[in-house]
Structure 1
Amino acid sequence: MKKMKKVIFSILSIVVVLVILVFSLRIYNDYKCKDTNALKSPEYYKDVTNISLYPTDIDGVDVTYVDEGRMQGFRFVPKEKSHKGLVICFGGSEGSPNFETAKRLAEEGYETFALFMFGMKNQEQTLRKIPLEQFEDVIDYINKNIKDNKPISVLGASKGAEYALNLASKYSEIDNLILIAPSSYNFAGLDFKDYGSSWTYKGKELPYIDIKKSSFSSFLKNIIVPTIIKSPISYKETYKSAIEQDSSSQEKLIPVKNVKANILMIAGEDDLMWDSFAMAKKIKDQNPKAKIYSYKGAGHIFAGNGVLNLGKIRIATGGTTESNDKAESESRKTIDAFLKENHK
């Protein structure tokens, strides 16, 4: 009986110590990370699908919302268009249409679009099983409504870069690609209630890396434990582990060998969301003409000090404030030079 009491007391003591430790670490991380935020979000990030939150009164640019079947998003027409063709922008897994980039480029004289991949009328409501064919509605709209419609450049960030690269593998109408924090693989969608590939084509899901099959130790170390103690979650090792665990990962690579579009890739070498720098090199292995501009010390998002504060959780995006600011400035110049060269 005494031994049993000792065992129970020991177990309770360990539990109490662990509870105190977790509680202390949560307080410490709240203090340490209280001023961290890698992204100062515009107003519309409160609800990216709320069209009324987007500012459409822009000096020198006419902004309209395009509602054409599965084509949903904003069209920016400069009052003085100074570059040929069009630039089509897509955001990432947050569901935004990359409005700020399209706006900036329109102010520089490009006719641009900021388009939604999902979440809007006639589209999939979550990031899963998105049909690549919805881009055909974009092509139809362009052909019917815009005379000066060549060349076409597509710019995508993060998950939007994965989408854009897939589009270029199917649609030769795309002349140029700008991939920011790119993926070389098709990954699973982010709807875990209706799990499957992020993308479909001709009614079939594209083969995908199953992120649920990453190693448990990686998942525990980088996601579960940080969630408990409120430290930043890093998804990089989860994605990397899922690739390594997949014996048929080569079949999940986006087929870019025969993509005719000029490809520019932008990647932070300290990306903690996924290893965009390694995947950019994987894309270049398939398509040697593709260009990579990488930035040391920069993360997934070229803003802030590498931590994205979402209230209940914190996400490690990577990089330092100084390196991210430098990468933002330098990459913008690189993108501008690429567009000017290809939209003469």
Structure 2
Amino acid sequence: MKSRKFFFSIFSIVIILVILVFSLRIYNDYKYKDINVLNFPKYYKDVTNISLYPTDIDGVDVTYVDEGRMQGFRFVPKKKSHKGLVICYGGSEGSPNFESAKRLAEEGYETFALFMFGMKNQEPTLTKIPLEQFEDVINYINKNIKDNKPISVLGASKGAEYALNLACKYPEIDNLILISPSSYNFAGLDFKDYGSSWTYKGKQLPYIDTKKSSFSSFLKNIIVPTIIKSPISYKETYKSAIEQDPSSQEKLIPVKNVKANILMIVGEDDLMWDSFAMAQKIKEKNPNAKIYSYKGAGHIFAGNGVLNLGRIRIATGGTIEGNEKARSESRKTIATFLKENHK
């Protein structure tokens, strides 16, 4: 009799939990159904499909560069008004940050929108990407562009992590623009071929293992939100992985001796990772670096802080007003920085 009551109690609890989960999923589907409908360009549906990128741009000649591990777009303004070049990289989505390169080209800069991975002669996924692939970029520039100094590199999110590593190895880089940056090297995002995001001379760079974040943080911020279809936040997972790594200092990107001018653009409400704190860490090691931070802004300076990706929702942080303000003001800050350094 007691065993029947026990099993009945367990069964009742399971039923209640199932009903609760489904109720929360329905509620969140309703709550977020019309939220953050961002007008991303169509190439974001398949970032490696070159045919989706618009190359007919008024006042700018656009060509695709296929030179070894250098893969991406070159933008040459018909009236180039600034010296040198600006090289743009996107983030973990695998894009070449086409929109930034396009905008700057329309402002008179010769620019490149380059892929980090996923294209011919490159790593197929974001893991173990060799920094040496930038040497193909340097070789192309030296052979094909006379007015090739100064060189600025703009990177967003994982692209900022990549760009900062490049500046540690390649003094040819004169200026860095880091949007939502990392001060650490983190694990790559291929969990089948797991390891560091980056390699140099055949060796993986020391990295923070995100699999070793605290379970409570992983449960609270990723597992439960996935089950009930509320926004996932990765910020605490990255933070706890750093805290639980006894050798985390060895995983910091060695920025102390970087000679490039560094501009960092961060949202103080970034929920993807703590780019605000990590920017401050970079400045500790390289005091000449500049930080421009924006209250009420998140990771991508767009939308209301929740990114809908179909099956999951990701918390990127910020409000509509805060992100729009940060986007507008940061573009002015970047424009000023580039004008100062491309005279």
Instruction: Report the TM range for the smaller structure's normalisation.
Output: over 0.9
Contact (CA 8 Å) 1:70, 1:123: kept in 2 or not? Answer: yes
Identity of aligned residues (%): 89
Structure 2: how far apart are the matches of 1:185 and 1:303? 25
Structure 2: how far apart are the matches of 1:87 and 1:311? 34
Task: Give, in angstroms, the shift of residue 37 of structure 1.
Answer: 2.2
- Within the alignment, does 1:313 sit opposite 2:341 as a pair? no
Superposed CA offset, 1:42-85 (max 9, x none): 01001000000000000000000000000000000000000000
- Within the alignment, does 1:122 sit opposite 2:92 as a pair? no
Contact (CA 8 Å) 1:270, 1:300: kept in 2 or not? Answer: yes
Match of 1:84 in 2: 83
Match of 1:210 in 2: 209
Match of 2:101 in 1: 102
Match of 1:142 in 2: 141
Is the alpha carbon distance of 1:38 and 1:288 closer, same or farther for their aligned partners in structure 2, counting shifts above 3 Å? farther
Superposed CA offset, 1:287-327 (max 9, x none): 00000000011000100000000000000000000000000
5+ long unaligned stretches in structure 2: none
Contact (CA 8 Å) 1:38, 1:317: kept in 2 or not? Answer: no
- Within the alignment, does 1:190 sit opposite 2:189 as a pair? yes
Match of 1:47 in 2: 46
Q: How do 1:1-40 residues align onto structure 2 when only pairs under 5 Å count? A: 2-37=1-36, 39-40=38-39
Task: Give, in angstroms, the shift of residue 123 of structure 1.
Answer: 0.2
- Within the alignment, does 1:170 sit opposite 2:164 as a pair? no
Superposed CA offset, 1:79-106 (max 9, x none): 0000000000000000000000000000
Structure 2: how far apart are the matches of 1:38 and 1:290? 35
Structure 1: how far apart are the matches of 2:325 and 2:109? 24
- Within the alignment, does 1:275 sit opposite 2:274 as a pair? yes
Match of 1:237 in 2: 236
Structure 2: how far apart are the matches of 1:17 and 1:115? 51
Equivalent position SS for 2:334: helix
Task: Give, in angstroms, the shift of residue 343 of structure 1.
Answer: 0.5
Q: What TM-score results when the alignment is normalised by the length of structure 1?
A: 0.99
Contact (CA 8 Å) 1:38, 1:301: kept in 2 or not? Answer: no
Contact (CA 8 Å) 1:38, 1:307: kept in 2 or not? Answer: no
Amino acid at match of 1:123: Q
- Within the alignment, does 1:256 sit opposite 2:255 as a pair? yes
Contact (CA 8 Å) 1:176, 1:262: kept in 2 or not? Answer: yes
Amino acid at match of 1:4: S
Equivalent position SS for 1:156: strand
Superposed CA offset, 1:219-256 (max 9, x none): 00000000000000000000000000000000000000
Is the alpha carbon distance of 1:343 and 1:190 closer, same or farther for their aligned partners in structure 2, counting shifts above 3 Å? same
Structure 1: how far apart are the matches of 2:37 and 2:194? 29
Equivalent position SS for 2:7: helix
Structure 2: how far apart are the matches of 1:243 and 1:297? 25
Is the alpha carbon distance of 1:38 and 1:257 closer, same or farther for their aligned partners in structure 2, counting shifts above 3 Å? farther
Task: Give, in angstroms, the shift of residue 36 of structure 1.
Answer: 1.7
Match of 1:154 in 2: 153
Structure 1: how far apart are the matches of 2:249 and 2:35? 38
Task: Give, in angstroms, the shift of residue 38 of structure 1.
Answer: 6.6
Amino acid at match of 2:175: N
Amino acid at match of 1:268: G
Equivalent position SS for 1:308: strand
Q: What TM-score results when the alignment is normalised by the length of structure 2?
A: 0.99
5+ long unaligned stretches in structure 1: none
Match of 1:67 in 2: 66
Structure 2: how far apart are the matches of 1:25 and 1:201? 46
Could you list the structure 1 runs, at least 4 aligned residues long, displaced by more than 3 angstroms after superposition. Answer: none
Task: Give, in angstroms, the shift of residue 274 of structure 1.
Answer: 0.1
Q: How many residues align?
A: 343
Amino acid at match of 2:34: D
Task: Give, in angstroms, the shift of residue 41 of structure 1.
Answer: 1.3
Equivalent position SS for 1:45: helix
Contact (CA 8 Å) 1:38, 1:305: kept in 2 or not? Answer: no
Equivalent position SS for 1:274: coil
Structure 2: how far apart are the matches of 1:110 and 1:329? 19
Larger CA deviation: 226-235 vs 37-46: 37-46
Task: Give, in angstroms, the shift of residue 39 of structure 1.
Answer: 3.9
RMSD (Å) for aligned C-alpha atoms: 0.6
Match of 1:294 in 2: 293
Contact (CA 8 Å) 1:38, 1:306: kept in 2 or not? Answer: no
